[in-house]
Copies of this chain bind each other. A is one copy, B any other.
């Protein structure tokens, strides 16, 4: 039983909801099941980093060219640098029936869903709104302004949350990692993701009936 293609999985979530940690532990726990999408970036390579491992390192001109040629699924700027998801790398993986995970913010997620309507969108949240507030304001080291900004962003993310497929409730890390893994594995058995196998089964059954 093989599904038609690998899955494009997008993991987003509220700031402080722990999506980075979940991702890291998921990949450690299931190294052969999932592939991490590697982003392109214009930021400088740091000591210990390797081109094509942490990032595909690009000049501003190369990055602009990728945008122009529609080679990026989505891109965004952060601290004056560009970050984007190369389309070809993701397409190669899913054609080879490999699942690929993208950790990106909500606007990028919607762009990915436009390009890959079968993408699986997962939204990470703390177990309650009170807990979310704690994580946003709780460190006690932030100014009122930074907190207000974070709350405003979270409010916008909450509006987009409803366009996601599944919620990941990050209560304990271990449970959240298991939950992400179970959801992805369950999705492989969706009827809509197994049209080839179903078609074959139907054709075989028709042949048996005729030859019986």
User: Are A209 and B152 in contact, with the CB atoms below 8 A?
Assistant: yes
User: Are B189 and A167 in contact, with the CB atoms below 8 A?
Assistant: yes
The answer for the CA separation of A182 and B190 in the assembled complex, in Å, is 12
User: Are A162 and B198 in contact, with the CB atoms below 8 A?
Assistant: yes
User: Are B191 and A182 in contact, with the CB atoms below 8 A?
Assistant: no
Closest B residue, CB atoms, query A152: B209
Interface residues of A in 31-69 (CB under 8 A from B): none
The answer for the CA separation of A190 and B161 in the assembled complex, in Å, is 11
Which of B144, B190, B198, B204 sits near A212, CB closer than 8 Å? B144
- The smallest beta-carbon distance between A131 and chain B, in angstroms, is 10
A88 within 8 A of B: no
Which of B147, B161, B194, B203 sits near A191, CB closer than 8 Å? B161
